[in-house]
Amino acid sequence: MIESTSKVSLKDFDSSVGLDRGASRLKELCWYMVKVTFFLSALPYPSGLKTKLLRFFGAKIGKGVVIKPRVNIHFPWKLEIGDHTWIGEEAFLLNFEKLTIGNNVCISQRSFLCGGNHDYRNPTMPYRNGPIILKDGSWVGACCFIGPNVTVGKDTVITVGSVIVSDLEENRVITKPITSQIKVRWK
C-alpha cells in the first residue's frame, strides 16, 4: 500500500455536510429512474412530456421550453426555467443549489452548469456549492462551463468553450481567451 503525504483527506469527507438535497431519497430515486428513461435517452421524447415530468418533480417551468435528448438535470425541485428557453443536447445541469434560467435563454449542447464545488483549502474537501442565475436573453454557447455562485446578465452571450466562474454584466459578448497558439507550417 502506498502511504499518502497529501494534505487532502478524502476519507474524512462527509457528504451530509453542506448539501441540502431538497427531497427524500425515495423522491430522488424516482427522479433518477425518470431521468434515465426520458432525459438521458437519445430518443427524442417530446419537450412537452419532459416539462410535465419536471413539473411533477417540483420544477417551475414556463411555456415553450425545448429540452433536447440526453440532458442531465440533477435536482428538478431546485430548477426554475422561464418561457421559450432552449436546452441543447447533452447539457448537464448539476444544480445542488437553485438554478434559475430566465426567459428566451439558450443553453447550447454539452454545456455544464455546475452548482457544486469543494473547498480545496480544507483537507476534508467539504462542499462549497452555490446557485446559478441565467437572466433573460442570455446564451450559453456549446461546451461552456459555468460554476457556482454565478449570475449571467441579461442578453449576455458566452461563446463556445468559455469557462465562467464570476458574475457577468448584461449586454456583453464573452469570448474565451486564447492562451496558446500552435502554428503549423505546410511545405
Domains in the chain, start-ordered, CATH in brackets? 22-173 (2.160.10.10)
Whole-number pLDDT of residue 16: 83
Q: Write down the residue that cell numbers 429540452 correspond to.
A: 67
Strand order, beta sheet including 163-164: 72-73, 92-94, 112-114, 145-146, 163-164
Rounded distance between C-alpha atoms, residue 21 and residue 79, angstroms: 13
Rounded distance between C-alpha atoms, residue 86 and residue 111, angstroms: 12
Whole-number pLDDT of residue 15: 86
What pTM value is reported for the model?
A: 0.90
Whole-number pLDDT of residue 182: 46
Evaluate if residue 41 carries a pLDDT over 60.
yes
Q: Calculate mean pLDDT across residues 139-167.
A: 96
Whole-number pLDDT of residue 120: 87
Q: Please calculate the CA angle 47-64-80 and round it to the nearest 5 degrees.
A: 85
Whole-number pLDDT of residue 90: 98
Whole-number pLDDT of residue 143: 95
Whole-number pLDDT of residue 144: 95
Evaluate if residue 81 carries a pLDDT over 80.
yes
